[in-house]
Structure 1
Amino acid sequence: MEFKDYYSALGVERTASDDEVRKAYRKLARKYHPDVSKEPDAEQRMRDINEAKDVLGDKEKRAAYDALADRVARGGRPEGDFQPPPGWDTGYEFHRGPRQGPADHADFSEFFSSMFGDAERRGATRQNYRARGEDHHAAIEITLEDALNGIERELTLRAQVIDAQGHPQWENRTLSVKIPPGVHPGQFIRLAGQGMPGHGGEPAGDLYLEVRIAPHKLYRVEERDLYMTLPITPAEAALGAKVEVPTPTGGVVEVTVPPNARGGMKLRLKGRGFAGKTPGDLYLLLEIALPPADSEAARNAYAQLAQATSSFNPRQHLGV
């Protein structure tokens, strides 16, 4: 069997604290959970992450694993089939309750089953095991309007459960989710008690929904701010104008384009972005739209403009 490097699986150093191990697990779980990830190997990566967290998140298992890794390092890690040295687990007792965590250990690697799975039969007290259920992570995509105004909707998720034979299975479940107004991309909505069931009377874990906002035809999201391209005519840019602009929460506002405005200039509408203690803003990016020269009058107007501005050279900075 293959020797498993659990620290590499979680991307942490061997000196990592318990808190660092938990944070690394949560970060990777958000990335590779099948409800969130589009990676082709997401389910396998999730099993590896769960397995590493099961060992490194338990003080007794981690101590035994570290001792084993030290012995393997002194003897040279085998490139082929790994066999544990005799008596490697002397002085350690591992505790694992039945069906604890995001997957039963029957779904873990041969290395885990050989090293830690048999420990239950050697001394774990399954009937007395108590543990809070694992947290789950998923993603929810909503429209910009729903993010700004709030909405209640039903969400169907794939969740891992344990069947009567003790094997992990995937099934669909439907939840009613209340999205508060002003939720922004990357924010997590916590649904208490909707994670994995606890063991020994302990509470269930929580479900954390990562908010994603679908692309919008007018607005682009950057943290709590919104950006919109505002086309203006050459005359409006040169002379200044008042133009009407739609707002993301509905309605229209009138904004002033200053004289001699240039393409790429930003106009700021304060507080028109996402709500919050510090509300975001709406930025209008000016884009000069040229009228087509598709009529005699339009061509004459362009000819007059060219004559009136003959001293203007837009390529002067090119040195030609």
Structure 2
Amino acid sequence: MKFKDYYETLGVKRDATQDQIKSAYRKLARKLHPDVSKEADAEARFKEMGEAYKVLKDPETRASYDQLGANWKNGQDFQPPPNADAGFEFGGRGGHAGFGDVSDFGEYFEQMFGRQTGFGHGRRHNVHAQGEDHHAKVQIDLEDAYRGAERNISLRMPVIDDSGHVVTRDRTLSVNIPKGIRSGQTLRLSGQGGPGIGRGKAGDLYLEIVFRPHPRYRVDGHDVYVDLPLAPWEAALGASLTVAIPQGSIELSIPPNSAAGRKLRLKGKGIPGKEAGDLYVVLNIVLPPADTEQAKEAYRKLRDAAPFNPRAFS
């Protein structure tokens, strides 16, 4: 997937005001419209310009795009960062933006960020109206789901300042993370969304929970996986080992003749809940290095004492 520099497409600087972006789009639209332009690539450029404008014209989608960073170059191979939209607070949830015929990058951007913005769904114009609901994705640690926790969550909300530039407004909330919450579930914070109009109540804030990548554990739904390194003799002869798990530690019996990749299921030791998940310990056999003459001799003795052809089973 190739990165699209939408600012370059519209011929504006990254710090352009919303009015400058609108003006640049209108100027290019008059020049490149297929019914008017005689340039051979007018239709393709017109589509690229439309894709760029649909992202940059809205302060929320523009802020999301800016979060990807200014170091990417137009046409450069683009590797999407994980959870790129985490920590951003958006007003409304009006569905996909409907970008239409877009590039691969535009399709990625729509899937990642388009679902999170209102795209023009603003306040009602009544004298008194309830505030707009806001949405954000936040990352928590897996351990928080096991124990429950109270965490300070920092959010950034795109707004337009007095000079017409898009800036972010930061705020920090104290959030109670309930025990047993799973990735993809949503927490509702009443009254923490957009302010009401007149005597209208404030909207609500909906937080979509995702787990931060963990150095030890992998999560699949409510099940958790952990790799356990074993010495060859532990796998062959069996062993009793102390294994760290998110709830503390357990004594685990390794059955004799355990193969690499074998999964040992610990029922109910996954993410807790009404139907608790399971914890799977995945065995990983690690060979000692043959980096000394003594170690090499030990391998030779093993080779001679226990003839074994691993390819006979493939």
- TM exceeding 0.5: yes
1:315 match: secondary structure: helix
Return the alpha-carbon distance in structure 1 between the equivalents of residues 178 and 117 of structure 2: 35
Q: What is residue 36 of structure 1 aligned with on the other side? A: none
Match of 1:186 in 2: 184
The equivalent position to 2:309 in structure 1, one of 302, 307, 313, is 313
CA offsets per residue over residues 52-79 of structure 1, 9 Å max, x none?
Answer: xx4xxxxxxxxxxxxxxxxxxxxxxxxx
2:227 pairs with one of 226, 229, 247: 229
Deviations, residues 146-173 of structure 1 (Å, cap 9, x unaligned): 23222222223223579899x9975222
Q: Residue 50 of structure 1: SS of its match in structure 2?
A: coil
Specify the alignment match of 2:195 in structure 1.
197
CA distance in 2, matches of 1:161, 1:224: 37
2:149, 2:301 → 1: CA distance? 54
Measure, in 2, the Cα distance between the counterparts of 1:100 and 1:148. 39
Given the two structures, how large is their TM-score scaled by the length of structure 2? Answer: 0.58
Aligned to 1:274: 271
User: Offset at 1:140?
Assistant: 1.7
2:59 aligned partner? none
Matched, 1:50 2:119: yes
> Kindly tell me: are residues 308 and 178 of structure 1, through their superposed partners in 2, closer, same or farther at Cα, counting changes over 3 Å?
same
TM-score computed with the length of structure 1 as normaliser:
0.57
Is the alpha carbon distance of 1:237 and 1:163 closer, same or farther for their aligned partners in structure 2, counting shifts above 3 Å?
A: closer
Distance in 1, Cα, partners of 2:117 & 2:182: 31
- Partners of 1:304 and 1:297 lie apart in 2 by 11
Q: 1:237 to 1:26 in 2, by over 3 A?
A: farther
Query: Partner amino acid for 1:147?
Result: A
Task: In structure 1, list runs of 5 or more residues that go unmatched.
Answer: 3-8, 10-23, 30-38, 55-98, 102-125
Deviation at 1:236, TM superposition (A): 1.4
Which residue of the partner structure matches residue 288 of structure 1? Answer: 285
TM-fit CA distance, 1:287: 0.6
Q: What pairs with 1:9-20 in structure 2 (closer than 5 Å)?
A: none
Compared CA separation, residues 317 and 273, structure 1 to 2 (3 A):
closer
Overall identity of the aligned pairs, in %: 48
State how far apart, in whole Å, the 2-side matches of 1:287 and 1:210 are: 34
Structure 1 or 2, whichever has the larger Rg, is: 1
Shift of residue 304, structure 1, vs aligned partner:
2.0
1:165-180 mapped onto 2 (5 Å cutoff): 170-180=168-178
In structure 2, the gaps of 5 or more residues are: 1-25, 30-53, 55-91, 98-107
Cα 1:168–1:100 change in 2 (3 A) is farther
Deviations 1:178-225 (A, max 9, x none): 112222211211101111123353322110111122222211122211
* Structure 1 residue 233 displacement after superposition: 1.3
SS of 2:119's equivalent in the other structure is helix
The correspondence of residues 57-76 of structure 1 with structure 2, limited to 5 A, is none
The structural deviation recorded for 1:262 is 0.3
Deviation at 1:314?
A: 1.4
Instruction: Please tell me whether the aligned partners of residues 93 and 116 of structure 2 are also in contact (alpha carbons under 8 angstroms).
Output: no
